[in-house]
Structure 1
Amino acid sequence: MAGPRLDEQLCFALYSASRAVTAAYRPLLDELGLTYPQYLVLVVLWEDEPCTVGHLGDRLHLDSGTLSPLLKRLESAGLVRRQRSATDERRVDITLTPKGRALEERAACIPDRLLGPNDSAADELAALRQALQMITAELHARTAL
């Protein structure tokens, strides 16, 4: 008996949607000189600054091996500062530079430019986002066992 067809698989729908979203963001982020993962790091910092590498990893579901090069490039671009905590040598604190903080205003319009400010599907997109967050939480809980 054959398994589900490709177009019937949730994993493929999620994969395709993720690639489409990333591709749609690319030209908008190119204007800011950012990659999509760098943008996500900055979004967390704009919400939660200052924070630790561990906090960024928790929010973005990334390990420090993935985050470290991202943060190094953001630091080289003059957008963030990395500094060892004075109270705990194991902790690295991340803060925005004035240049990184100023970029928030330029980036604020990206979601509206992508989907439009008065999108008639706003309720459906909010429900989809909530469903995806639920699926993600469930999968993380299952793999943490």
Structure 2
Amino acid sequence: MDALRLDRQLCFALYAASRAMTAAYRPLLAELGLTYPQYLVMLALWEDAAEHGERSTVSVGHLSSRLHLDSGTLSPLLKRLTLAGLVDRRRSTDDERSVLVSLTPAGAALRAEAECVPTRLAERFSVDGLDVEQLRDSILAVTEALHAADGSTA
């Protein structure tokens, strides 16, 4: 067995699956006016609002950690979501270096429209015998192990 065969590489399988998954989401998210990375930001904000109240705020640093994105990647996403009227950004009064993000009423309302996205995506594909939750948990375990191995969190 050739260890360098492309089809033997976990990294390539994850990369190809990620691209295919993002492509599958694209038409569903276009209906909401979101890109896939913007959708991930909104998911994190909706979850925070559900846990802490609709007017909750979260720091850009917290979002960055949650989404495994650096602030240089996250900031333009937040800027576009702000321009779309879905989120508010403001400097913390306690620490001016910290930027806080919260959902606008339009951003909170978009959640109701987005609730059908996971179900509609699941209807687009099915793989016999695939336990999606087990697969997700295995991928998350790989991600955590890789972060632990290199000492990073993002």
Q: 1:20–1:84: structure 2 CA closer, same or farther, 3 Å change rule?
A: same
Tell me how large the CA RMSD over aligned residues is: 2.1
Higher relative contact order (CA 8 A, sep 6+): 2
Match of 2:99?
A: 92
Aligned length in residues: 144
Question: CA shift at 1:120, angstroms?
Answer: 8.5
Q: 1:122–1:62: structure 2 CA closer, same or farther, 3 Å change rule?
A: farther
Question: CA shift at 1:62, angstroms?
Answer: 0.4
Question: CA shift at 1:51, angstroms?
Answer: 0.7
Match of 1:36?
A: 36
2:140 corresponds to which of 119, 133, 136: 133
Residue 77, structure 1, aligned to residue 84, structure 2: yes
Match of 1:109?
A: 116
Question: CA shift at 1:112, angstroms?
Answer: 0.3
CA distance in 1, matches of 2:78, 2:127: 37
CA distance in 1, matches of 2:81, 2:18: 23
Q: 1:66–1:122: structure 2 CA closer, same or farther, 3 Å change rule?
A: farther
Q: Deviation string for 1:62-88 (max 9, x for gaps)?
A: 011111100000000000000101111
Identity of matched residues, %: 60
Q: Extract unaligned runs of 5+ from structure 2.
A: 50-56
Q: Deviation string for 1:82-134 (max 9, x for gaps)?
A: 01011111111100000000100000110100003xx7969711000000000
Match of 2:5?
A: 5
Q: 1:122–1:57: structure 2 CA closer, same or farther, 3 Å change rule?
A: farther
Q: 1:140–1:7: structure 2 CA closer, same or farther, 3 Å change rule?
A: same
Q: 1:122–1:114: structure 2 CA closer, same or farther, 3 Å change rule?
A: farther
Q: 1:57–1:121: structure 2 CA closer, same or farther, 3 Å change rule?
A: farther
* TM-score, normalised by the number of residues in structure 2: 0.87
CA distance in 2, matches of 1:91, 1:121: 47
Q: Extract unaligned runs of 5+ from structure 1.
A: none
Match of 2:53?
A: none
* TM-score, normalised by the number of residues in structure 1: 0.92
Match of 2:61?
A: 54
